[in-house]
Amino acid sequence: MVITTTLSAFKERDSLYKKRNKTTDIYQKALTTVDLIRSYGPNFDSIEIMGNKFYAEFEQEKNKYGQMLTYYTLCRSGVELAKYELAREYAIKTISIANSIQNDSIVARTWLSVGFSYYSQGDFQMGIGSYLKALPVCERHPTEVCYRRIMASAYNGLGLCFSVKPFPNNDKALDYYFKALKIDRETDNTRDLGLVLIRLGILYTSLKDYVKAESYLLDAVEFANRVNMPVLQKWSLESMATLYKNKSDYKKALKNYYKSLEISKTSNETPGIISSYINISETFFGLKDYHVALIYADSAHVLSSRNRIFEPIFKVNALRSDIFKVQRDFEKALEYHKKSVDLKDSLFSERSNNNIQEIETRYKTQKQEKELIEQSAELKIQKEKSEKQAAQRNVFVVGILLLLIVIVFIYWQYQQKKKANDIIQSQKILVELKNKDIIDSIKYAKKIQEAILPPINLMTQIFPESFVFYQPRDIVSGDFYWYTIKNGNKIIAAVDCTGHSVPGAFMSMIGNAFLNEIVNEKNVTKPSKILDMLNDRVIVSLKQSDNENKDGMDIAIVSVNETNQTLEFAGANNPCWYYREGILTELKGDSQPIGFHLGQLKSFNSQIIKTQKNDCVYIFTDGYADQFGGPKGKKFKYKQLNDLFLRVNKLKFSEQRKVVKTTFEDWKGELEQVDDVCVIGLKI
């Protein structure tokens, strides 16, 4: 459950704070800080805020090791959460500090992260250049295992870039992969050994050498299961599925892709989710199920655009073009074909390909030049040493005198200004910090709430013709929507929790967690039984029998079974309206809320109706009808809401949502929104 997971995270974080405050060892403190920063994931904004806070502490303590590890953690987290531009900003800072304390390991590892960030965004030229920069750092430590493993990772990344760029060089890719494989086996490098096996399987799949491909991928699957590493299990399943897809065994392909997607969703690994969406879309295209193929392609495009991961987008556009082409919508097919070609050209041109070869040649040349320079440098070093020392002493003395003069002058000016501004500035900063803390906390709560709610854009996979109009009054909401599919029943709910803003949001998180437990874990699909169990859990979890807490929720929940052609409804104070051939039928909910109330506690009732094709169903909270506005500043009321649904229920659902939203905004006008709003419409 979400609540249990959150409490567990808080306990772990509290334990790390105590451990960090207790230790006096600067290295142990830095390592504990890394764990503490990462505990604020998967929200990168929170990771970044805490990382910069701890960096300032290390800076004050002059703990360079702590500063370096803090920025390195922000760089790695940025890569993992697809915040690639930010990741590279922190990489530059990390490398600067690591060079100043001669920590070659972090320098080389950071170049690996930079290389992967460029690869993920389709900038293979910069990706190859970054991986090559890690190699000379590792070559300074030829016998140390950790540097040999980093070198293998760089070879692995180079092989990946050469194999997937729009103008691939498969011979170079294989050469780099086999170099990586040799080192990984010699150093027993568990993580990268599985990864290079997967990538060799992928490359041989693309070359249609299915015998070698299957051999490497079977080794990768067996290895990933043996070491129990989710990231390896995900990509070995994904790659095996691609092999099956290329062999037109679509059933096996889909089975593996769905397993791979589930692992990526569990670990919140955005690039993995995008990759699975694209591959599933291509598989449904192969099965000639173009509607589902387009849904997954659109999902991949939304997620890629949101996270500025451009490389998959030209693949998605090419796939969309193919889908529309077979559907004989040639206008759209041409549109997406042009988008794909334009993006591909902008990401990588022949000129970029030549630049990559130039970068690689430059690396090899620099390496040879460096060896010659080192041999001749020893002969000159003694002669130049005494001359440099004398010159440096003179420069140092003059520099110190000038620096002292500048420091005295700056300090005098600073003291004069400080006396005049200290009081005003400190008060201003205090007010700003307090306001920022409050707003940041509420925005963070919003991100948590959005992460918990199921994605609106994926609801069409369950209800192809549907819409959700969801508009919180404040940053966070006491209303929420919820849907799932269980044992052939498509279940959806509109929920109105006590209050709005932060108090309502806490109740919505509790309600969402309990609905997931009751339906998805306990396999309860009857709406009245769901409400009974939800009612019990709210009363017990909030200890409402022992205190004055009267918090709860109103809810309308619908279960549609297309096989039996039935709709089953239960409600706590809220109704369900369904329209058949323009006639409204209202299914009223029970006149009691979820949670403690003064009346007699009764079980909830279900109502079942036989459905017909094109029945339209609407469930909602009271925020829409209770909104003040219009020419006289009165409530909208349910009569007008019924008229609105009668007017729009023949339209496409994407158009229905626009009309519902526009009507609400026009009615509200300049007045404030009085409550959270959630309206759900769907066609049977």
Supply the CATH number for residue 298's domain. Answer: 1.25.40.10
| Domain closes at, from 448, 478, 494 | 448
Please tell me the distance from the alpha carbon of residue 183 to that of residue 367, in angstroms, as a whole number: 20
Please tell me the distance from the alpha carbon of residue 181 to that of residue 169, in angstroms, as a whole number: 18
- pLDDT over 50 (residue 3): no
pLDDT digits (tens, 9 = 90+) for 244-299: 888 888 888 888 888 888 888 887 788 888 888 888 988 898 888 888 888 888 88
pLDDT of residue 397: 52
Provide the strand spans (E) within 279-345: none
Q: Is residue 229 domain-resident? A: no
pTM of the full predicted structure? 0.47
Q: Is residue 298 domain-resident? A: yes
Please tell me the distance from the alpha carbon of residue 193 to that of residue 182, in angstroms, as a whole number: 9
- Whether 519 contacts 533, CB under 8 Å: no
- pLDDT over 90 (residue 71): yes
pLDDT of residue 332: 80
Please tell me the distance from the alpha carbon of residue 622 to that of residue 679, in angstroms, as a whole number: 9
Q: Is residue 321 domain-resident? A: yes
pLDDT of residue 367: 52
Please tell me the distance from the alpha carbon of residue 109 to that of residue 205, in angstroms, as a whole number: 29
- pLDDT over 90 (residue 81): no
| Domain closes at, from 102, 134, 151 | 102
Is the bond leading into 464 cis (omega within 30 degrees of zero)? no
Say which residue, 385 or 620, is predicted with more confidence.
620
pLDDT digits (tens, 9 = 90+) for 486-509: 998 999 999 999 866 677 778 888
Question: Do 629 and 585 fall within a single domain?
Answer: yes
Other CB atoms within 10 Å distance of the CB of residue 584: 15
Question: Do 336 and 401 fall within a single domain?
Answer: no
- Whether 336 contacts 317, CB under 8 Å: yes
Please state which of the ranges 99-108, 198-207, 228-237, 301-310 shows the lowest mean pLDDT.
301-310
Question: Do 428 and 538 fall within a single domain?
Answer: no
* Overall domain count for the chain: 4
Question: Do 528 and 657 fall within a single domain?
Answer: yes
pLDDT of residue 46: 85
Domain extent, residue 290, equals: 269-345
Cα end-to-end distance, the chain, whole Å: 31
Please tell me the distance from the alpha carbon of residue 119 to that of residue 113, in angstroms, as a whole number: 10
pLDDT of residue 465: 92
Question: Do 549 and 630 fall within a single domain?
Answer: yes
Angle at 475 between CA 471 and CA 479, to 5 degrees: 45
Please tell me the distance from the alpha carbon of residue 634 to that of residue 613, in angstroms, as a whole number: 37
- pLDDT over 50 (residue 510): yes
Q: Which of 166, 239, 229, 237 is nearest to 200 (CA)?
A: 239
Q: Is residue 230 domain-resident? A: no
Please tell me the distance from the alpha carbon of residue 240 to that of residue 456, in angstroms, as a whole number: 31
Strand 616-620 relative to strand 677-683, pairing: antiparallel
Question: Do 458 and 421 fall within a single domain?
Answer: no
- Whether 111 contacts 136, CB under 8 Å: no
Please tell me the distance from the alpha carbon of residue 462 to that of residue 324, in angstroms, as a whole number: 23
Query: In which region does residue 496 sit, left (phi positive, over 0), alpha (psi from -120 to 50) or beta (all else)?
Result: beta
Q: Is residue 544 domain-resident? A: yes
| Domain closes at, from 326, 345, 364 | 345
pLDDT digits (tens, 9 = 90+) for 363-373: 554 555 444 44
pLDDT of residue 1: 30
* C-alpha pair distances (Å), 428 with each of 382, 437, 439, 505: 59, 14, 17, 31
Element (H, E) at 125: helix 124-139
pLDDT of residue 435: 62
SS (H, E, C) 381-422: HHHHHHHHHHHHHHHHHHHHHHHHHHHHHHHHHHHHHHHHHH
- pLDDT over 70 (residue 393): no
Strand 607-610 relative to strand 583-587, pairing: unpaired
- pLDDT over 80 (residue 441): no
Question: Do 79 and 65 fall within a single domain?
Answer: yes
583 three-state secondary structure: strand
Residue 517 DSSP label = I
Question: Do 503 and 540 fall within a single domain?
Answer: yes
Question: Do 665 and 587 fall within a single domain?
Answer: yes
- Whether 616 contacts 682, CB under 8 Å: yes
Q: Is residue 501 domain-resident? A: yes
Q: What is the mean pLDDT of residues 374-395?
A: 50
Q: What is the mean pLDDT of residues 230-253?
A: 86
Q: Is residue 278 domain-resident? A: yes
The residues with which 678 forms a beta bridge, in sequence order, are 470
Q: Is residue 221 domain-resident? A: no
Question: Do 538 and 434 fall within a single domain?
Answer: no
Q: What is the mean pLDDT of residues 406-435?
A: 60
Question: Do 444 and 539 fall within a single domain?
Answer: no
Please tell me the distance from the alpha carbon of residue 340 to that of residue 515, in angstroms, as a whole number: 41
Question: Do 487 and 397 fall within a single domain?
Answer: no
